[in-house]
Amino acid sequence: MTITIKTPEEITKMRIAGRLAADVLEMIEPHVKPGVSTDELNTLCHDYIVNVQQAIPAPLNYGRPPFPKSICTSINHQICHGIPSDKRLKKGDEINIDITVLKDGYHGDTSKMFSVGEPTIAGKRLAQVTQRCLYLGILQVKPGAKLSAIGKVIQAYAHSQNYSVVQEFCGHGIGAKFHEDPQVLHYYHADNDKIIMEPGMIFTIEPMINQGKRDIKLLPDQWTVVTKDHKLSAQWEHTVLVTDTGFEILTLRPEEEGWQERMVQ
């Protein structure tokens, strides 16, 4: 396992890539409404990334079989890696949109939950708890800390709210490659005890939290991951830099300003 420590020049490029990925989530927000198809959202994001940002949507043709679209859209019981299609959103849906932008050789990766029209109580609560899981994980990031501290707090909080944590997918180092070492687990595992955070490390934290059991199923399209019990799942993701004193969120959106103050409530 090799965890890359980014140079100041690389960190500058990662800040730019992260900012661009966050900008796409802001751009798409007003379009996430009842009646829009996830293909239409995909096209809007693709065109914005390519034409306005002059960047590359990293998911397109990524992996095996090649991912066929430029963003991931995961609705309700879909956990992650949902493929945009002609399916239209309806009131009460909860959708995760996951954006990864490649700019000047470096990646920025971020996702958030959107409520379509008026949210259900259950959907809103799961999305809020999952965002808090992400923030609690981020608060563990500082030089000298064990990587396992992240999963520990996420798991404890999710369980305290009677939710479960998906274990098959994790956060990841990120930089010139989309997915680098280390694997950032969202539950406690001794493997992550041995990894100590250092300034210049950059990784994502992207908890997937389920309303029911943690078990997953992969659909025949070989990408879409759903809950086995078809209950709701939510996910939020940020790309985070370990600084000399703590962390810097490279994909922070303006709407999140003041998140740490709101955490204490």
Binding residues for Co ion, rule: CB under 5 A, are: 98, 109, 204, 237
DSSP 3-state of 115? strand
CB 97 within 8 A of CB 49: no
Q: Which is nearer to Co ion, 94 or 109 (CB)?
A: 109
Sorted by sequence, the CB contacts under 8 Å of residue 26 that are 6+ apart come out as 253, 254, 255
Q: Considering CB distances under 5 to 8 angstroms, the limit depending on partner class, which of ligand MF3, Co ion, none binds residue 59?
A: ligand MF3
**Least Cβ distance, residue 101 to ligand MF3 (angstroms):** 10
**Least Cβ distance, residue 18 to ligand MF3 (angstroms):** 13
Q: Which is nearer to ligand MF3, 119 or 141 (CB)?
A: 141
**Beta-carbon count within 10 A of 162 CB:** 9
Q: Which residues make up the interface to ligand MF3 (CB under 6 A)?
A: 59, 62-63, 67, 72, 81, 98, 100, 109, 204, 206, 223, 237
Q: Which one, of 247, 219, 203, lies nearest residue 6 by Cα?
A: 203
DSSP state of 49: I
Q: Which is nearer to ligand MF3, 221 or 257 (CB)?
A: 221
**Least Cβ distance, residue 151 to ligand MF3 (angstroms):** 16
**Least Cβ distance, residue 100 to ligand MF3 (angstroms):** 5
Looking at the DSSP bridge assignments, the partners of residue 109 are 100
Residue 153, CA atoms < 13 Å, CB-side half-sphere = 18
Q: Considering CB distances under 5 to 8 angstroms, the limit depending on partner class, which of ligand MF3, Co ion, none binds residue 62?
A: ligand MF3
At 250, which amino acid appears? L
